[in-house]
C-alpha cells in the first residue's frame, strides 16, 4: 500500500523584495506565503537587480510549514 | 515630620511620573519596531494589530510624523496581504492626506504595495501650504505668495475670506498638478487694500466627495502705519501696507 505524502508549505520574505526561485523555478515575488512544495531538500534563490543574489538550501518535511524571512540582499558595489 | 513625609511622597510621585513617561515613550517606538518585525516575519495579523495600537495612541507618547507615516505604510501593506484591500487603501489615504510627497520605499515594499499606495494617492485630493512665516509687501504693487503642493492632480478654488467666512478675494480657480504658486496683492475683490485683522487662505477641491479635503491657513494681516515720507506718485497705496503673517499651520476639514 502506497504511503500518502503530504506537501510542505514554505513562506519567504526578503529585504529588499525580489523574485524567488525554488530549484531553479520562479515561484513569485516575495513576500510569498505557503507555497506548496514536495518534502525533501530544495535550493532557494532570491534575486533583485542591483543586488547580490541570495542562495541557500533548505529541507522541508511532509506537512511541514516553514518560514524563511531573514533574507537580506546585499547591494552590488557601484 | 508630616510635611517632610508629604515632600518625600511628592518627590517619589514625581520620579514615578517621569519614569512612567520615559517607559511609555519607549513603548510607542517599540510598537512600531515590533510591528515592522512582525510584517517582515509575515505575521500580518499581528503586525496590523500592533501598528494600530501604536497609531491610535493619542495621549502621552505618540509617534512622530515620520514614524506615523512609516507605521501607516507597514499597516497598509499588512492589510493588503491580509486581503483587506479597503483597510489598506484607508491607511494609505491617511498618508496622502498627511504628506503629499511621501512614497513608500520601493526597496522594501513590492509593486503590489506601491501600486495600491499610488491608487490611494490618486483618490486623495488635497493640498498643502508652503508659506513663509512672515511676509512684508506693499498692497497692489507687491504680492504675498503661497505655494500649494497637491497630493494628486485636481481642480481647486483658492480664496481669501474674512475670519467669519465672507469672501474677500478669489485668487485662483482651476487645475493643480504637482504644485502651484498663488499670489495675493493684498486687495479685496473691489481692489481696495484689506484692513488689519485675521483672514483665511482657503483651498477647496471643486468636486465634492470622498477623499476631497479642503485646507485653510489663517493669516494675520497687520497694516503698517503710513510712512511720513510722501508716496511717489502712482504708487496707489493710500493708507498703509498689509503684512500677511501665517498665524497657524494648515488645518484640514473633512
Q: What are phi and psi of A75, to 5 degrees?
A: -70, 140
Do A16 and B108 lie within an 8 Å CB cutoff?
Answer: yes
Q: What is the pTM of this model?
A: 0.73
Average pLDDT over residues B225-236: 58
Give the SS3 label for residue B196: coil
Domain B2-123 has CATH 2.30.30.170: no
Mean pLDDT of B123-137: 84
Contacts with B103 (C-beta within 8 Å, 6 or more apart), sequence order: B114, B117
Helix and strand totals (H; E) in chain A:
0, 7
What ipTM does the predicted assembly reach?
Answer: 0.89
- Chain B residue numbers with beta carbons less than 8 Å from the beta carbon of A30 are 110
Q: Confirm whether A58 is domain-assigned.
A: yes
| C-alpha grid cell, residue B203 | 483651498
Return the SS3 of B248: coil
- The alpha carbon of residue B82 and the mean position of all alpha carbons in its chain are separated, in whole angstroms, by 30
Closest alpha carbon to A16 in A64, A73, A77: A73
How many Å apart are CA B8 and CA B3, to the nearest integer? 9
**What are the chain B neighbours of A35 within 8 Å (beta carbons)?**
none
Residue A3, in any domain of the structure: no
- Show the 3-state SS of B163-178: CCCCEEEEEEEEEECC
B40 touches chain A (CB under 8 A): yes
Give me the pLDDT at residue B18, please: 41
* Whether the predicted pLDDT of B156 surpasses 70: yes
Q: Name the CATH topology of B127-228+235-253.
A: Immunoglobulin-like (2.60.40)
Name the average pLDDT for chain B.
Answer: 81
CATH number where A17 lies = 2.60.40.1120
Domain encompassing residue A55: 8-72
Per-residue pLDDT band at B246 (split at 50, 70, 90) = low
Establish if A60 belongs to a structural domain. Answer: yes
Over residues B82-97, mean pLDDT:
95
Residues 6+ apart with CB under 8 A from B165: B200
Q: For residue B39, which of B86, B4, B91 has the smallest C-alpha distance?
A: B91
For the record, the C-alpha cell of A42 comes out as 530544495
Closest Cβ opposite residue B110 in set A29, A33, A67 = A29
* Mean pLDDT rounded to a whole number for chain A: 94
What are the residues facing A42 on neighbouring strands? A58
Confidence class for position B76, pLDDT limits 50, 70, 90: very high
The answer, yes or no, to whether residue B63 has pLDDT greater than 70, is: yes
Range of lowest pLDDT (A41-50, B59-68, B73-82, B226-235): B226-235
pLDDT above 70 coverage of chain B, percent:
76
Residue B216 confidence (pLDDT):
87
Does A31 contact B111 at a Cβ distance shorter than 8 Å? no
pLDDT band at B10 (very low <50, low <70, confident <90, very high): very low
pLDDT reading at B91 higher than 50: yes
Reported as a pLDDT band with limits 50, 70 and 90, residue B26 is low
Alpha-carbon distance A59 to B143, whole Å?
Answer: 71
- Contact list in A for residue B110 (CB cut-off 8 A) is 17, 29-31
Residue B252: phi and psi, rounded to 5, are -90, 150
Q: What is the pLDDT of residue B251?
A: 38
At B51, the pLDDT band (50, 70, 90 cuts) reads: very high
Nearest CB neighbour to A31, from listed B81, B107, B111: B81
* Between residues A41 and B18, the one the model is more confident about: A41
Position B129 pLDDT exceeds 60: yes
Instruction: Test B40 with A67 for CB contact under 8 angstroms.
Output: no
Q: For B173-211, how does the pLDDT look when each residue is reduced to its tens digit (9 = 90+)?
A: 999 988 999 999 999 999 999 988 999 999 988 877 656
Domain count within chain A: 1
What's the pLDDT band for B137 if we cut at 50, 70, 90? confident
**A13-49 tens-digit pLDDT:** 999 999 999 999 999 999 999 999 999 999 999 999 9
Domain residue spans in chain B?
Answer: 2-123, 127-228+235-253
Amino acid at each position: 500500500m502506497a504511503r500518502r505524502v503530504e506537501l510542505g508549505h514554505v513562506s519567504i520574505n526578503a529585504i529588499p523584495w525580489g523574485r524567488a526561485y525554488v530549484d531553479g523555478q520562479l515561484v513569485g515575488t516575495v513576500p510569498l506565503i505557503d507555497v506548496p512544495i514536495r518534502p525533501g531538500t530544495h535550493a532557494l534563490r532570491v534575486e533583485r537587480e542591483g543586488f547580490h543574489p541570495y542562495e541557500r538550501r533548505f529541507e522541508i518535511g511532509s506537512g511541514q510549514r516553514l518560514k524563511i524571512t531573514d533574507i537580506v540582499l546585499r547591494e552590488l558595489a557601484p | 515630620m508630616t510635611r517632610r513625609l508629604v515632600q518625600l511622597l511628592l518627590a517619589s510621585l514625581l520620579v514615578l511620573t517621569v519614569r512612567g513617561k520615559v517607559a511609555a515613550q519607549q513603548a510607542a517606538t517599540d510598537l512600531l519596531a515590533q510591528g515592522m518585525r512582525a510584517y517582515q516575519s509575515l505575521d500580518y495579523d499581528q503586525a496590523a494589530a500592533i501598528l494600530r495600537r501604536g497609531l491610535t495612541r493619542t495621549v502621552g507618547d505618540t509617534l512622530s510624523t515620520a514614524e506615523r507615516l512609516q507605521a501607516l505604510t507597514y499597516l497598509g501593506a499588512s492589510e493588503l496581504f491580509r486581503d483587506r484591500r479597503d483597510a489598506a487603501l484607508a491607511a494609505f489615504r491617511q498618508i496622502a492626506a498627511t504628506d503629499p510627497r511621501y512614497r513608500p520605499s520601493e526597496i522594501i515594499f513590492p509593486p503590489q504595495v506601491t501600486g495600491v499606495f499610488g491608487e490611494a494617492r490618486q483618490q486623495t485630493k488635497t493640498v498643502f501650504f508652503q508659506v513663509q512665516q512672515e511676509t512684508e509687501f506693499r498692497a497692489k504693487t507687491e504680492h504675498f505668495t503661497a505655494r500649494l503642493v497637491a497630493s494628486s492632480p485636481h481642480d481647486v478654488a483658492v480664496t481669501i475670506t474674512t475670519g467669519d467666512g465672507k469672501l474677500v478675494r478669489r485668487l485662483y480657480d482651476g487645475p493643480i498638478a504637482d504644485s502651484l504658486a498663488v499670489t495675493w496683492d493684498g486687495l479685496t475683490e473691489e481692489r481696495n487694500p484689506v484692513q488689519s485683522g485675521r483672514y483665511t487662505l482657503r483651498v477647496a477641491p471643486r468636486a465634492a466627495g470622498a477623499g476631497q479635503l479642503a485646507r485653510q491657513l489663517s493669516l494675520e494681516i497687520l497694516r503698517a502705519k503710513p510712512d511720513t515720507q510722501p508716496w511717489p506718485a502712482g504708487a496707489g497705496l493710500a493708507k498703509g501696507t498689509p503684512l500677511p503673517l501665517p498665524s497657524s499651520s494648515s488645518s484640514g476639514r473633512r
